[in-house]
Chains A and B, each alone.
Chain A
Amino acid sequence: MESFIGLEIHIHLATETKLFCGCRARFGDEPNTNVCPVCLGYPGTLPVANQQALFLGYVVARALNCELSPRTVFERKNYFYPDLPKNYQISQYEHPIGRNGFIMVPLPGGEVRKVRIHDAHLEEDAGKMIHAGDMSLIDYNRAGYPLMEIVTEPDLKTGEEAEAFLIHFQRVIRYLKVSDGNMEEGSMRCDANVSVNFPGKGLGTKVEIKNLNSSRFVKKALNFEIQRQIGVLKQGGTIRQETRLWNENRDLTEVMRTKEMANDYRYFPEPDMPPFEPDPVFLEKVEKAQTELPDRKKARFVNDYRISEESAEFLIASRYVADYFEEVVQIGIEPALVASWLSGDVQKLLNRHGLTLDTSPMSARRLGQLLRLLNEERIHGKIAKKLAELVFEEDRDPEIIMREKGLEQIVDFDVLRGFIKNVADEYPAVIHSIKNGDERQRGFLIGKIMEKSQGRAHPQKLQKLFDDFLSEVTA
């Protein structure tokens, strides 16, 4: 059997205000506080298109290699739902911002698949209805929030591929800084169209799956649905065109509505807003907002910085981390060192403190400073790790902490000789046995000398001076 998956992805665009009014577009506030007569659909109010949302919409469509519409038109999509204030959604239909695009997606197993984009359009979100006992409550804070819907062609085959697509897509929109793409918070949502058929027969009957609010559910739900459809066909049955809902508690899809119950949305152009025609200045800004996307960046990192595939993969997972990495490298630190610190010590500290790089006290400048101190041998590796911890605890520059706490490496020969002399005086018997060839005691003494220096003695220099000391004593 062959299976075909197309995705419909909604992302919340990161605008200050809602799509058609001046209300703040923000989550987590008290219900029904970010509302006004316009987004509540009071009689007489009119929508005014948010220019920032249009801009971000074009940025996304361009990044997905779409043909950009020279004249994009809002339309009314008519359906009644209690959380939809006007009972029509202002969306786009005949003239979306972009169409006929594609995106190159790295799939599990190494294949890079070209997934075609049918269209990318702008629309407003609805509110949220909560059923509580014998009441239904509606929060309209989300109503009018700008959404971009991206519709792919059925170019994916399995749940795993769909999951990989979503992870890649999420990275792309985060790179573009158009959305935080957070599926758990609902700022990225996904519906899927699935069909299966006998090999060579083309697309089968399409079933839409809704309520896929994490990339893991997408994988599970689609694999379940593909198996369900294959089961039906193998038993000689036919697939009904319907919409199914993923039930995350029971791990299966359930019928939500059949084709007969489908809405006729009666689209027609929104008479309250003229079409939007981007001018050359606008399109130039869209072009300027384009950024190197994750796959390209990874190739460049491997090639230019001579770091491993794994390191590069770690770095490009977030644009912030990738940019941070390059900032530290710019300071003049060896890329491999930066990469290993980021994936190693810094990551450990982030985990311990429950932070992400962008919210941590370890700025790129501070990590650069820390690694420079290490390079210049003003601190050694162990101290560097300790300094990093202190930066997280104290939120101050590593060099200042180093100075204040006297963590700088001791390289002065006379001082180091002093430590050696002191320890030698304390342990004359041990010196004696080393001189007699018992090298095992050597480590013990070096440790003692290190202790004397509070761990600050330059390890190589100390070794060298200790050797000199021994030979002098022998002579």
Chain B
Amino acid sequence: MKKNWKVRPEDKDYQAFLLETNKKLGAFLSFSFNEAMTGDGEFQGIPLAVKDNIAVKNQPLTCASKLLENLVSPYDATVVSRLKDKGAVVIGKTNLDEFGMGSSNQDSALAETFNPWDPLVVPGGSSGGSAAAVAAGMVPLAIGTDTGGSVRQPAMFTGVFGFKPTYGVVSRYGLTAYASSLEVPGFIARSVEWIKLALELTAGADPHDQTTTSDVLAEVRPIKKIGYLKVDDGLSPVMAAAYREHIEAWKDLGYVLMPVDIPALEYAVPAYYTIATAEASANLARFTGIRYGVRPDYAQNPQELVKKARTAGFGREVKRRILLGTYVLRSGFQDQYYHRAQKIRTIIRGDFNRVFEKVDILLMPVYPTQAFPRGESGLSHLQQKLADKFTVGANLTGIPAISIPAGVRDGLPLGFQLLAPALHDRDLIQMAQLWESKTSIPAPPNYPPRWED
């Protein structure tokens, strides 16, 4: 573990640096410089960035939505309190696509976040603010949430590590639910050591979350065989070439690389969006402006108040997903959509299980392209959804995955992901650390590393 931290949360210089950097990047939605350190341990005095859909007591919890712009959380998420207990200080809350629905941070209703590598491309999403903050050296570690790739894809877009633990290992208590059965808290850092530490300190059953498992993480196995997903098309030329090189790089490190097929992955995106939007349609129903959040100045009756608050408060993409989710759950149509999606989920799980009978670790692309351009010249909402093909598998099956940086091309980072069977999270941490030790992890040109040796 690295000891020579160069800044501390209470440093005025550090705070000035954060404010200055944030003017350029918009990574944070809010800072809490007066936050007191409440714990003691491995994270003593370490500033932490937390995605603004995760509860931090007495800090905003906007979910980047107009509807919750004024909400202050009355409690701490378990993943936050466990790190606070070890001395971490939550320095601020980072931007995201509203309620985690998006892959670019362009669907934040509150702020624009820019990619530290190039202000013309997106930082990815939905944990784009967290990833940008880490990539720019604002914090050593950020917490995000990964519902369909929301930690791994922005990590890749900004050239850092992004880890999604096994479902049920790190508590979801305090994560504003988008798709409960798919999402987990995840960690983003430039150095794997931070992720390792955060995982070890936050893993474990939580009495506030009945979906956490009492099973403990498996000990590290000797890794020999890496299966790599055969990808015939769908990758950008740059990404396709980089993928081939990346496979060779692991061979050079002495691993056996085998091509594998996951046929059901073809259906992963529709299954994912059916389940995710179905759950979202219920999860987001609680936001009405009645008990908290922004409400209209006037309404004739409670029903009208709810309607006005939601009409004004939700962004287009959020409304689209709520509508879609409501549609797939209608009685008489569940067999056609929701139940069918669940069947596909089971088939995908079977496909992954078969792969892990043959190989120890699975290697896959994270995203078909590098960070895409902002605005109209980028990807449409539909294209963005289709591009989730490689990330949603880990969410549908609950298995752990880590995206690792793999060099820079055309001034933008490249990256791929490693996946392991459920509870073998430590294997991924070890593989990522090995990768980190064998390659250089470049920082964006104007943002030198600050938290590493």
Within B239-290, the residues touching A (CB, 8 Å) are 278-279, 281-282, 285-288, 290
Query: Interface-forming stretch among B132-140, B173-181, B219-227, B401-409?
Result: B173-181
Within B306-346, the residues touching A (CB, 8 Å) are 306, 326, 329-331, 334, 338
**A42 and B75 contacting across the interface, CB-CB below 8 Å:** yes
A299 part of interface (Cβ distance < 8 Å): no
**B208 and A48 contacting across the interface, CB-CB below 8 Å:** yes
Cβ proximity bits A68-89 to B, threshold 8 Å, 1 near / 0 not: 0000000010101010011110
- Separation of A45 and B175 alpha carbons in the complex (Å): 8
Within B422-450, the residues touching A (CB, 8 Å) are none
- Separation of A48 and B180 alpha carbons in the complex (Å): 14
**A45 and B285 contacting across the interface, CB-CB below 8 Å:** no
Residues of B within 8 A of A78 (CB): 281-282, 285, 329
Residues of A within 8 A of B411 (CB): none
Residues of A within 8 A of B63 (CB): 43
- Separation of A129 and B291 alpha carbons in the complex (Å): 13
Within A100-156, the residues touching B (CB, 8 Å) are 129, 136, 138, 140
Point out the residue from B210, B290, B301 that lies within 8 Å of A274, measured CB to CB: B210
**A268 and B334 contacting across the interface, CB-CB below 8 Å:** yes
Cβ proximity bits B174-208 to A, threshold 8 Å, 1 near / 0 not: 11110011000000000000000000000000011
Judged by DSSP, the binding face of A is: loop
- Interface residues contributed by chain A, number (CB under 8 Å): 32
**B181 and A88 contacting across the interface, CB-CB below 8 Å:** no
Residues of B within 8 A of A138 (CB): 290
Within A157-173, the residues touching B (CB, 8 Å) are none
B66 to chain A, nearest CB (A): 14
**B288 and A273 contacting across the interface, CB-CB below 8 Å:** no
- Separation of A37 and B75 alpha carbons in the complex (Å): 8
**A86 and B175 contacting across the interface, CB-CB below 8 Å:** no
**B326 and A266 contacting across the interface, CB-CB below 8 Å:** yes
**A43 and B176 contacting across the interface, CB-CB below 8 Å:** yes
Q: Which chain B residue has the least Cβ–Cβ distance from A32?
A: B291
A172 to chain B, nearest CB (A): 31
Q: Which chain A residue has the least Cβ–Cβ distance from B213?
A: A274
Residues of B within 8 A of A37 (CB): 74-75
**A44 and B175 contacting across the interface, CB-CB below 8 Å:** yes
- Separation of A51 and B413 alpha carbons in the complex (Å): 50
Within A39-54, the residues touching B (CB, 8 Å) are 40-49
Given A268-B334, A271-B181: A46 and B210 interface contact (C-beta under 8 Å)? yes
Given A42-B75, A44-B173: A88 and B285 interface contact (C-beta under 8 Å)? yes
A414 part of interface (Cβ distance < 8 Å): no
Given A46-B173, A266-B331: A85 and B291 interface contact (C-beta under 8 Å)? yes
**A82 and B331 contacting across the interface, CB-CB below 8 Å:** no
Residues of B within 8 A of A86 (CB): 282, 285-286
Point out the residue from A46, A76, A264, A274 that lies within 8 Å of B172, measured CB to CB: A46
Residues of B within 8 A of A274 (CB): 210-211
Q: Which chain B residue has the least Cβ–Cβ distance from A48?
A: B210
**A264 and B282 contacting across the interface, CB-CB below 8 Å:** no
Point out the residue from B208, B292, B306, B329 that lies within 8 Å of A268, measured CB to CB: B329
Residues of B within 8 A of A80 (CB): 285, 288, 303, 306
Residues of B within 8 A of A43 (CB): 53, 55, 61, 63, 68, 71, 73, 176-177, 286-287
**A-B pairs with beta carbons under 8 Å apart, 26 shown:** A37-B74, A37-B75, A42-B73, A42-B292, A44-B173, A45-B173, A46-B210, A47-B210, A78-B281, A78-B282, A78-B285, A78-B329, A80-B303, A80-B306, A82-B305, A85-B286, A86-B286, A87-B286, A88-B285, A136-B302, A266-B282, A266-B329, A267-B331, A271-B211, A272-B180, A273-B211
B residues whose Cβ falls under 8 Å from a Cβ of A: 53-55, 61, 63, 68, 71, 73-75, 77, 172-177, 180-181, 207-211, 278-279, 281-282, 285-288, 290-292, 301-303, 305-306, 326, 329-331, 334, 338
A residues whose Cβ falls under 8 Å from a Cβ of B: 37, 40-49, 76, 78, 80, 82, 85-88, 129, 136, 138, 140, 264-268, 271-274
